[in-house]
Each structure stands twice: as structure tokens, then as C-alpha cells.
Amino acid sequence: MGVLPSVQKSFRRRRTRKMLEEKVNGQSSSLGAGVFWHELSIEDFIGKKLDIFFLKLGDCDADGLYDVVIKQVERPLIQKALQWAKGNQLKASRVLGINRNTLRSKIHKLKLK
């Protein structure tokens, strides 16, 4: 009996999430060639992390990468904006460039305090 497509898809999503969350040896402070993570733009840093992910992925299947990456970036972005704004959702929504109601729904969806 074969594996149901929905189970297979769920497995690939979990594996994708796990691979993104794993720390790569030697990548915590330096990204090689004398470049440190704190010297990179956010875009370049994420690009480097995705390079590592795709290198580790090889020929294996993965599913739902877009959603996994967006969730991993969106959560800390909103948390840091709220910390910066000292919990003021209007101020945080302005700095993020989104509507206050959108921010409130994201806070609820991400189960943030």
C-alpha cells in the first residue's frame, strides 16, 4: 500500500521545516571568506541560509518552503517591531508599513503576546 499524497506532503513540509531550523556547522558566526553574519543585509543573510538549505536538500523533495520561510521571518519581525514600539500596535504597524488591523490579525494568527 502506498503513502497517501497528503501524508507525503505533510512529511515533506516537516522535513523542510526541520532542515531550515538545523544549524549548519561553522555557520553560526562566520559565513566564510571573512564575512560575518552581522555584516550582511537581511536579504543577503537569508540568501546564504537558503543556499545552505538547497545544498543540503540535494535531489530530495521538499514542500511548502515559501510558507516556512515567511513564517520564520514574519514572527521575529513583528515581535521586534512590537518590542521597539513598547507594545503600541499603531506605532508598530506604521514602522512595518501595514494596517493596524492587519497587524492585529497577524499577532493573533502567530499567537504572539
What's the mean per-residue pLDDT of the chain? 81
Residues 59 and 69 in one domain: no
Residues 101 and 91 in one domain: yes
CB atoms within 10 A of CB 63: 16
Give residue 37's domain range. 1-63
Residue 74 β-bridge partners = none
Average pLDDT for 79-107: 97
Residues 52 and 4 in one domain: yes
Distance CA 44, CA 86 (A): 29
For the entire predicted model, the pTM comes to: 0.64
**Band of residue 55 on the pLDDT scale cut at 50, 70, 90:** very high
How many folded domains does the chain comprise?
A: 2
Q: Let me know: does 68 contact 13? Beta carbons within 8 Å.
A: yes
